[in-house]
Structure 1
Amino acid sequence: MTDLTRTLQILDRLVAFPTVSRDSNLDLIDWVQDLLQNAGFEVTRIWSPDRTKAGLFAQTGPMVDGGICLSAHTDVVPIDGQIWTRPPFALTDEGTHVFGRGTTDMKGFLASALALAERAGATPLSSPLSLSISYDEEIGCVGIGQMMPELKQVIGKPRIVIVGEPTSMQVATGHKGKAALRVTCHGQAGHSALAPRFVNAIHVAADFVHEIVALQGKLALGPHDEAYSIPYSTVHIGEIHGGRALNIVPESTALDIEFRHLVGTPAHEIQREIEDIAKRVGGAYPSAPAIAVEMRNAYPGLNTDPSLPIVNWADEMAGANGLTKVPFGTEAGFFANLGIPTVVIGPGDMASDGHKPDEALSKAELSACDRMMDNILGALTSKP
């Protein structure tokens, strides 16, 4: 097994920062910025709009096109309501695995990347190494979207961006895009004893839900990509809020809805279908205000061509574990939309550990990630 001493030291420090998305990440960012600057990196801090959080872009080596960009996010999901048998914000080493919130998603990769940064800072490079470090990924890739106007001015043209989400060190070339909507169905308030005289917003919402179920059936018959366990685009209603009291006819009902779409099925097409459903259902209740559909958040999918030579190179760097696509979203689509070849590679398994209590990361996976980083360093020091 690769000597993990420095990577584990960094991971221990990263896990100790409780960077749940609802809270600031600035203590972690200060620490990481110091590490990178001490390693000789040129570091740009990119603030969130309210300046309670920040991301970083750091680069070392010759300021030329090419090189490798490693991408990671700093935030983690909450521990609320979960039963942990180990401290979530302290790294627990139990021999074959380390435990702590964010070990798999995705501070393990970030620790390995920062350990590489220290080695790279002491090594003459023939191509640049850069790191993009973000915030608020766990709430819908919000942070990278806010960072992108400034980030695209400094990122240059790397050969590839590697986003370090957990893939068991396989090269993921794709994932679906996602959009989150708030749908508000309107009715008329009134005394429940006279309920038939009024439009019940929950009844309007029920009609809307029925149509969304039909839309899911339509999507299931549409374009497929068999690389995904669910090979078609999906639509899902996650929350419904309506009514104030049993004896009042509800005048408003809100539904939080998401769809995850194949790259070949543009988001605007599914959104238009949902908006058409809203018009059709609302039209059946002419005495009530129209159903409102509001886009709350969205991020792009990823669909990197697996035949690109740089994808084969990435597979070699990662240990030739093969190609895959992942069911969860990442920040990769934002980089791909800049015209930069982008893949997802990282240690750990999202299904077994991501967002769960007693989140863990295998040391063997972390060692494999460190070996990839060594391979990348070798590639950055070789002459073109």
Structure 2
Amino acid sequence: MTLAKQTKAAPRSTSAPASLAEATELLKTLVGFDTTSAKSNLELIAFIENYLRHHRIGSLRVTSADGLKADLFATIGGSGDGGVALSGHSDCVPVEGQRWTSDPFALTERHGKLYGRGTCDMKGFIACVLASVPLFKTAKLKEPVHLVVSYDEEVGCTGVRPLIARLGRDLPRPRAVIVGEPTGMAVIDAHKRIDAYRTTVHGREAHSSLPGLGVNAISAAAALVCELDRIGEAVAKSENDPRFEPPCSTISVGTIKGGTAPNIVPKTCDFNWQVRSLPTASPDEVPARLARYAEAELLPKMKAVTEEAAIETKSLHSVPAFAAGSASEAVALALKLTGANDTRTVSYTTEAGLFELAGCPAVICGPGDIAQAHAADEYVSLDQMEACLAFLAGLAHELRG
């Protein structure tokens, strides 16, 4: 069953949720930090550190190799392994080229919606978690709540990996991880895998009046793009998992660049593409099929002109699929807190698969609708923020002594 509509959390709790006004004020501050993935997130991390310090909660940074970004890990209500982690990424996608009706880095409320870059994906969740910190502190938790704030999720889920590698070593290993990506507070137990590639075609330059003396790299790249379309059509016919929308693996080309001038046969061309695979699909199948096509249909003709002709495909990054186990503690907990009777799937990728592979059962559940993420006038509704705060109040009730 695919994600179709937003659902409100219905936690079994007698604890009053944190203040919506407080969560909104925190979201205003978080949105004010331009944490586009190409930029540093350290100012946002410092703000969260100071906020936690104000509540007498220590935290640990896991800094990137260049020192420009950091993950944050904090524990409330105890130490050691176990407990539940609440995980959200701090980075957001660019706003360039989008037509916003308000400043994307200044929170704006209109008609019950909070507009700003990252409100939905996923600073709204982080704001709700921070607003709930006093509730977690006073709940006398029998096991801890861990806070995880990561970076570079939008460019391949790379930033959280060093932190995950330390879980169970010098950082506590949670028994469950709730990744607060926008799901309309529905409980998500699976998502697709993503593999990103760059294919580069090397040809030979020549005067455009004598194209036979050259090898047109753009023409070869265009043939490869068309082949990817054909492979995608074949995959769509061979796969059918009705839990996903679309119910098959998908292939898309995102960017293409080549040539130097209209009167020069282009020597090089490259294009970036990606495969979003079902959890049961083989991630190596599509690049292997493209390579076979290149070897059989394109390279013999290209090399007949020049031995320097080549077609190279390199993997840029991969994010594993997420498929929670049938007895997942994380999924069971999220179902209990939301009052939902079933789980759903999404086709976008998250950090949940990385937590799951590291032995930390994960689930995805957070405020907002993915349809608003990455778009101009991104927003999260106040209703969704309230539902998330109620969910977190239910968690505090569940974990208290």
Question: When the two structures are superposed, what TM-score results if normalisation uses the length of structure 1?
Answer: 0.93
Partner amino acid, structure 1, of 2:262: L
Asked if structure 1 preserves the Cα contact closer than 8 Å seen for 2:198 and 2:313, the reply is yes
- Residue 141 of structure 1 is matched in structure 2 by 157
Local SS of the residue matching 2:248:
coil
- Residue 355 of structure 1 is matched in structure 2 by 374
- Distance in 2 (alpha carbons) for counterparts of 1:152 and 1:176: 26
- Residue 396 of structure 2 is matched in structure 1 by 377
C-alpha change, 1:52 and 1:310, in structure 2 (3 Å) is closer
**Is 117-126 or 289-298 further displaced after alignment?**
117-126
Shift of 1:150: 3.8
Asked if structure 2 preserves the Cα contact closer than 8 Å seen for 1:169 and 1:321, the reply is no
Deviations 1:85-112 (A, max 9, x none): 2222122233522222111111110011
User: Given the alignment, which residue of 198, 218, 221 partners 1:205?
Assistant: 221
- Residue 65 of structure 1 is matched in structure 2 by 81
- Residue 345 of structure 1 is matched in structure 2 by 365
User: Given the alignment, which residue of 181, 185, 200 partners 1:165?
Assistant: 181
Matched, 1:311 2:311: no
- Distance in 1 (alpha carbons) for counterparts of 2:373 and 2:148: 21
- Distance in 2 (alpha carbons) for counterparts of 1:69 and 1:47: 19
- Distance in 2 (alpha carbons) for counterparts of 1:40 and 1:182: 47
**Is 121-130 or 178-187 further displaced after alignment?**
121-130
Matched, 1:296 2:305: no
Shift of 1:334: 0.7
Asked if structure 1 preserves the Cα contact closer than 8 Å seen for 2:176 and 2:329, the reply is no
Which has the higher relative contact order, 1 or 2, with Cα contacts under 8 A spaced 6 or more apart? 2
Residue ranges of structure 1 left out of the alignment (5+ in a row): none
Asked if structure 2 preserves the Cα contact closer than 8 Å seen for 1:161 and 1:341, the reply is yes
C-alpha change, 1:331 and 1:310, in structure 2 (3 Å) is closer
Partner amino acid, structure 1, of 2:397: G
- Residue 214 of structure 1 is matched in structure 2 by 230
- Distance in 1 (alpha carbons) for counterparts of 2:370 and 2:68: 28
Partner amino acid, structure 1, of 2:321: G
Asked if structure 2 preserves the Cα contact closer than 8 Å seen for 1:168 and 1:347, the reply is yes
C-alpha change, 1:367 and 1:154, in structure 2 (3 Å) is farther
Asked if structure 2 preserves the Cα contact closer than 8 Å seen for 1:167 and 1:344, the reply is yes
C-alpha change, 1:222 and 1:305, in structure 2 (3 Å) is farther
- Distance in 2 (alpha carbons) for counterparts of 1:269 and 1:196: 34
**Is 218-227 or 246-255 further displaced after alignment?**
218-227
Asked if structure 2 preserves the Cα contact closer than 8 Å seen for 1:173 and 1:303, the reply is yes
Partner amino acid, structure 2, of 1:91: L
Aligned length: 381
Shift of 1:342: 0.8
Local SS of the residue matching 2:52:
helix
Partner amino acid, structure 1, of 2:142: S
- Residue 124 of structure 2 is matched in structure 1 by 108
- Residue 13 of structure 2 is matched in structure 1 by none
**Is 106-115 or 134-143 further displaced after alignment?**
134-143
Deviations 1:311-335 (A, max 9, x none): 2321121242742111211111110
- Distance in 1 (alpha carbons) for counterparts of 2:89 and 2:364: 13
Residue ranges of structure 2 left out of the alignment (5+ in a row): 1-15
Shift of 1:197: 2.2
- Residue 282 of structure 1 is matched in structure 2 by 299
- Residue 25 of structure 2 is matched in structure 1 by 9
C-alpha change, 1:148 and 1:221, in structure 2 (3 Å) is same
- Distance in 2 (alpha carbons) for counterparts of 1:9 and 1:329: 29
- Distance in 2 (alpha carbons) for counterparts of 1:271 and 1:319: 42
C-alpha change, 1:40 and 1:318, in structure 2 (3 Å) is farther
Asked if structure 2 preserves the Cα contact closer than 8 Å seen for 1:162 and 1:343, the reply is yes
- Distance in 2 (alpha carbons) for counterparts of 1:193 and 1:275: 31
